[in-house]
Amino acid sequence: MTTFDHILLFKTDLSSRSAVDLIRPVLDSLEHIEQWNVDLWDEDFVLRVVSYKATHDEIITLLNRAGHACAELK
Amino acid sequence: MRKRDPEKEEAVKTKAIDMLVNDGFEGFSMNKLARACGISVATLYIYYRDKDDLILSIAAEKFREMSEAVLGDFDPEADFETGMRKQWENRYRFMTERPVITRLLEQFRSSSYQQRVIPDISRAFKEKMGAFVKSAVKRGEIGQMSIETFWCVAFAPLYALLRFHEEGRNMAGQPFTVNEAILWQTFTFVMKALKL
């Protein structure tokens, strides 16, 4: 059976395209992240990361360091 | 550990369609949808990468179903009246049997999503209907006309009837339910107008 533990989800305050553009280099530079996107059209501005290696804590720390709120979406 | 549950996915789609039809695109949110389905927002984002992805994949699926229902057993080589009768029958059946999906597709047609969903799926439509009309013209069954003129005479009357039916009222506000007698009577006049 397929599982989805490699899809990491976060609630963020990345509410605009420019905010997303600012964190783009950070997330793009991580080779173990296969894909990521932010849902700018919904109220939780969900960051969706596809990675078999990344951890929630790692992404939260990255976003916090860049000055953004980020919490695991459960 | 999260797993994919096809039954739950179907239930999510059905609920999403209800919400889109009742509240429109503006009022729709992943949070509201999750709440209405009794699942977490995270589960929705497992299935779909974002709200747009959810809306577009539902739209694409329903357009495909509609296109299959309308074109499935339609033969573009048929003579004009036979082909048109089939088209009317298929469209009538789809719209009366699946009114919610019909309303949803209408909403997509008049939204900014149209450009992104319709191109793919409407290709089959354009090709089959285009070929059908072309051979009817070639055989001398109907005259040459713009595609808009053709649609306005060939299908707009059907859609007007179905709109009255959907609203439960005719143009004068009187109660109306479509039936096959009215459908085929209208069809007869459409054939009279189009056939040479």
Q: Which domain holds residue B127?
A: 60-194
As a whole number, mean pLDDT of residues A51-60 equals 95
Would you call A39 an interface residue with chain B, using a CB distance cutoff of 8 Å?
yes
pLDDT at res. B1? 44
- Cβ contact A46–B50 (<8 Å): yes
Residues B106 and B155 in one domain: yes
Is residue B3 in a domain? yes
Which residue of B lies nearest to A2 if distances are taken between CA atoms?
B3
Residues B40 and B75 in one domain: no
Determine what percent of chain B is predicted with pLDDT higher than 70. Answer: 95
Is residue B55 in a domain? no
As a whole number, mean pLDDT of residues B171-178 equals 94
Using the predicted structure, report yes or no on whether residue B70 has a pLDDT greater than 60: yes
Place of tokens 């296969």: A34
Cα–Cα distance between B162 and B169 in angstroms, integer? 10
Counting every residue written for chain A, the total comes to 74
Q: How many CB atoms lie within 10 A of CB B174?
A: 9
Using the predicted structure, report yes or no on whether residue A1 has a pLDDT greater than 60: no
Residues B35 and B85 in one domain: no
Residues B65 and B42 in one domain: no
Question: What token pair was written down for B3?
Answer: 């797993």
Residues B33 and B96 in one domain: no
- Burial class for A44, CB neighbours closer than 10 Å (0-12, 13-18, 19+): buried
**Dihedral (CA of B147, B149, B153, B157) sign:** positive
| Sheet containing strand A70-72, strands side by side | A35-38, A47-50, A7-12, A70-72
The second-level CATH assignment, the architecture, of A7-72 is: 2-Layer Sandwich (3.30)
Residues B33 and B117 in one domain: no
Using the predicted structure, report yes or no on whether residue B118 has a pLDDT greater than 70: no
Residues B69 and B36 in one domain: no
Would you call A37 an interface residue with chain B, using a CB distance cutoff of 8 Å?
yes
Helix (H, G, I), strand (E, B) or coil at A25: helix
Question: What token pair was written down for B97?
Answer: 């049997």
Residue A48 has phi, psi (to 5 degrees) of -120, 120
CB pairs under 8 A between A and B: 56
Determine what percent of chain A is predicted with pLDDT higher than 90. Answer: 86
Cα–Cα distance between A67 and B141 in angstroms, integer? 70
Comparing C-alpha atoms, which of A68, A17, A37, A2 is closest to residue B51?
A37
pTM: 0.83
Is residue B142 in a domain? yes
- Cβ contact B2–A3 (<8 Å): yes
CATH number of the domain at B30, please. Answer: 1.10.10.60
Residues B10 and B31 in one domain: yes
Cα–Cα distance between A37 and A42 in angstroms, integer? 13
How far from the centroid of its chain's Cα atoms is residue A45's Cα?
Answer: 10
> What residue ranges do the domains of chain A occupy?
7-72
Residues B116 and B141 in one domain: yes
Using the predicted structure, report yes or no on whether residue B30 has a pLDDT greater than 90: yes
pLDDT at res. B44? 93
Residues B41 and B84 in one domain: no
Residues B29 and B79 in one domain: no
Residues of A within 8 A of B46 (CB-CB) are 4, 7, 9
Residues B108 and B74 in one domain: yes
Is residue B52 in a domain? no
pLDDT at res. B147? 87
